[in-house]
Structure formats: structure tokens, C-alpha cells
Structure 1
Amino acid sequence: MSESAAPNPYAAPASNLQEIPNGQVPSIAEALSRGYDFTISDVIGEAWQRVKGTKGIIIGGFLIFYIAMLLATFVLGFVLGMVGLLNESSPGSMMVGQLVISLLGSAVTYPFLAGINMIGIRRAADQPVSFNEMFSHFGRFVPLLLTGLLMTALIYVGLLLLILPGIYLSVAYMLAIPLAVERGLSPWEALETSRKAISQHWFKAFGLFLVLGLIMGVSALALGIGLIWTLPLFVIAIGVLYRIIFGVLPPAN
């Protein structure tokens, strides 16, 4: 592996974790207790170096993700319309129906979202990446569904409580979905582990999200062409942050 030679001072410890025999990486308790640090520029710089060779896989993954979401939304809209929840003459039922469609339509795509996350994490750990990763996590559909629904509900409640708690949780929960897959944590364990880890450097994580969002926003101005590079950059940057905090288990044979 070449990662140990990378100039990023925080890449080397993560790389060393990967090189321990038998795939030994810190336990969740060890990862939370040992502490970590990073700089936004280092994470983005390292992620940029890894964009080459993954653009097609990640962009293709997002296309699958959005197609699945559109299909799920269409089917749910049809079903709810048939049972009368989408009654245009009743604003209340229409609002409830649209909320149900939004939540469930997003939730059924969580295995695809987990696949995108894992592509970024594996690339960040210099592990082999494949488009098949998009379809490798349906075995954990129920835990992912529960994780996603619980995360969304808590963020919504936080936004209703003076907005700031929702902003805090939306950043703090950024690693919950990959934790549910890569470490096999239960929904609550994944949410709490992500929150505890990110809270150690919440403002840096928020800054990372903000900078990546600005980069993607600017790149989208030219007919969205720049997103071919910045979407993979975003995914891999989150993967680099995950690796810095938790290390990455070797892929299952």
C-alpha cells in the first residue's frame, strides 16, 4: 500500500491500521477514546488525489441512487393515491401523504446510499472498489432503514427545537450509515457512535461539509459538468474522515 507515504500526517496512522495482520483495527470504544484530529485542507487534498479512477463508479452510483428514489416515490405516490391519502381536496391528508412519500421514498434507497459511502471509504483506505458495492448491502436493509428513519426523525425534531439542535445532529450523524454497514452496528449504536466521534471536532466536521458544499455548488454552475469531479471528491472526503476516526476493516472475501 502506498498510503503510508502520503504527505497527509493523518493518513499514515490510518494506513498503519490497515496493515496490521488479520485486519485488526481499533474497536469502536478504542476509536472513540484514542482521539483524532484532521485539517479540512488535508482531508480534501487527500480525497482529490483519489478521485482519479473512481469518477465513473461514484457518478454511476448516484444515478442508480436517484433512479431508485424516483421509482420508489412514484410507486408510493400511486399506492397512497389509491388508498386516498393523496386527496387534493383535503390539504391535511395531502400534506401527510407527501411527507410519507418523502420519508419512505428516501428510506428504501439507504442500501444504495450505503454502497456509495462504502465506495468512498474503500477508496480512502486504498482497498479495491467496484460498482458491485452498490448492490452489496441489501442484506442489512432493515437496520439501514431503521437507522435512516430514526436519523431523519431526530434531525427533524431538532430543527423544530430552535433549528440549532437539528443542524448539530445533521452533522453529527454523517457517519451513521457507513457505521451500520462497515461495523455492523445497530441503528442506535450507529447514530450514537457517529455523534460521539464527530462531536470531538464538530466545528471542523461542519467546516468540511460547508467547504465541500461550496465546492460542489460552484462546480454545478457550468451546466453541472464540474460535478463529475466534485461528487466523487465529496464521497471520498467523507471516506477519508471515516478512516481517520475508525480505520477500515478489510473487505470480506
Structure 2
Amino acid sequence: MAAFDFGVKVDPVLFDRQINEGYEVTASEYIRKGWEMFRLNIGEFVGFTLVVFVISALSSMSNGGGSIIFSSLTAPLCAGFGIAAFKRMSGQEIQFSDFFLGFKYFLPLFLAGMAMGLLVAVGLVLLILPGIYLAVGYTFTMFLIVDYRMEFWQAMETSRKIVTRQWGAIFWFACLLALLNFGGALALGVGLLVTIPVSSCAVAIAYKEIVGLYSSEW
């Protein structure tokens, strides 16, 4: 997929089972497996997290243009964690360059990031609860774009429909990850070098367990 392709429409029938029949959510198991995945590739995950931190720091020291640039990079950078996790779950070795493969899907990821941010912000203004619902509902958007080469709006809506089936359980999972990263932040921020990649791996594992991996190459 070229970086500036919009993505494709995917047959929604592929997701009927998750949307109509439901699925089981095992939050603690996703986090445990996320830790095991991180432990097997500590250097790569910590190194890439440091790269993200440096880019964030540089953008914060620049003018407003720097913030805009970092915002445009956020989704592809986050997708890098997911792609690395997908490769590990498929039995492939992780190379450091794999973390930058999210830029192959730049346009749909960028559009999804902007649209989700806007809709969640509006939802938070409107009595808060709609924003929380959407923030959790869009959990799998990035993975659907990468895994199915899906266009951004269908990815957002597909994620929302899948998550809504077990919204409470996914919300609890998100809360556990938030607590994990809060603990990482308390450790002088250094703990985030561990908790951010562990959290990212855990969400990728949840996607694989709930939706299943469609592609074999990303």
C-alpha cells in the first residue's frame, strides 16, 4: 500500500461474528502476553519508544508548526508498535525498521487520527460520556487500517461496532492500561519506556484474539 492511498472498502460480512455473536475479553491475559512480547524484544521496543519521545520533545520546543507535524506523525508511529507486534505474533523476527512501517499507511492513519480526535473532543464537550464511548470504541481502528488496508471511516465504524458488543470489558481493559502507564509516569517517566510498548503490544494482542489477523505481511 502506498503512503498516500486512501485505503479500500472491505466486505463488512467479515466482521459479522464479532459484531453479532460477541467474544470474550481477557484483559489481564492480554497484558501478560504483552509483557512477554516486550521482554523478547526489549531493545527494539525501548529504542523505538525513545525515538517517539525525542520527536515529541523536539516538536514541543518548536512553534505551533512543530505540534502540527508531530500530530501528523502520531498515528503512523503508534501503528509501528502494532506492526511489530503483528510480526512477532506471526512468528516473524522484529527488525528495528519494522517500527516505521506505519508510514506505508500514512494517509488513512492520519485521517483516522484527526477524525477520531475531533469526534472524541466533541463527545467530551457533550456531557463527557459520548466522548468516552467513542474513545474506547475506536480502539481497533489503527489495526484495521494496517491489517485490512481499510479506508479510515470504515475502520473507525467497524472498530466502534465490534467494541460496542463488549464495550464495558474493553473499557475495563483500557482502564488497566491507563493505570499501568500512570505507574510508569510516576517512576520519573522512565517507566513509560516499558509501559507504553507493553500497553501497545497488549492492545495488538487483544485485536488478534478478538478480530484475528487478516494479513501475513504489513
TM-score by length of 1: 0.71
Matched length: 206
1:211 and 2:198 equivalent? no
- Consecutive unaligned residues of structure 1, counting only runs of 5 or more, are 1-25, 79-100
**Contact preservation (8 Å) 1:124, 1:236:** no
Q: Which of the two has higher C-alpha Rg?
A: 1
The partner residue of 1:128 within 87, 93, 117 is: 93
CA drift of 1:111 comes to 1.5
Q: Of 174, 186, 199, which aligns to 2:139?
A: 174
Contact 1:51 1:233 in 2 (8 A): yes
Other-structure match for 2:47: 60
Q: CA deviation at 1:106?
A: 1.3
Aligned partner of 2:105 in structure 1 is 140
Q: Distance between the aligned counterparts of 1:119 and 1:33, measured in 2?
A: 30
Q: Deviations over 1:15-40 (max 9, x none)?
A: xxxxxxxxxxx934454345311222
Task: Give, in whole Å, the separation in 2 of the partners of 1:108 and 1:143.
Answer: 12
Q: Deviations over 1:144-189 (max 9, x none)?
A: 1111111111001101100110011111112111211111111111
Contact preservation (8 Å) 1:158, 1:164: yes
Which residue in the other structure is 2:191 paired with?
226
Measured in 1, the distance between the counterparts of 2:73 and 2:38 equals 28
Q: Does 1:202 align with 2:150?
A: no
Q: In structure 2, do the counterparts of structure 1 residues 199 and 120 end up closer, same or farther at CA, with 3 Å as the change threshold? A: same
User: Does structure 1 retain, via aligned residues, the 8 Å contact 2:145–2:151?
Assistant: yes
CA RMSD of aligned residues (A): 2.6
Q: What is the alpha-carbon distance in structure 1 between the residues aligned to residue 58 and residue 106 of structure 2?
A: 17
Deviations, residues 67-96 of structure 1 (Å, cap 9, x unaligned):
334445666636xxxxxxxxxxxxxxxxxx
> Would the alpha carbon gap of residues 109 and 225 (structure 1) be closer, same or farther in structure 2, given more than 3 Å must change?
closer
Whether 2:26 is the aligned partner of 1:39: answer yes
Matches within 5 A, 1:151-162: 151-162=116-127
Describe the shift of the 1:218–1:136 C-alpha distance in structure 2 as closer, same or farther (beyond 3 A).
Answer: closer
CA distance in 2, matches of 1:75, 1:46: 38
Corresponding residue for residue 27 of structure 1: 14
Q: Give the Cα separation in 2 of the matches to 1:140 and 1:65.
A: 18
Say whether the 8 Å CA contact 1:68–1:109 is kept in structure 2.
no
Q: How has the CA–CA distance of structure 1 residues 235 and 108 changed in structure 2, closer, same or farther, with 3 Å as cutoff? A: closer
Deviation at 1:43, TM superposition (A): 1.9
Residues 70 and 191 (structure 1 numbering): CA distance in 2 closer, same or farther, change over 3 Å? same
Cα distance between partner residues in 1 of 2:97 and 2:78:
13
TM-score normalised over the length of structure 2: 0.81
* Mapped partners of 1:73, 1:129: distance in 2: 30
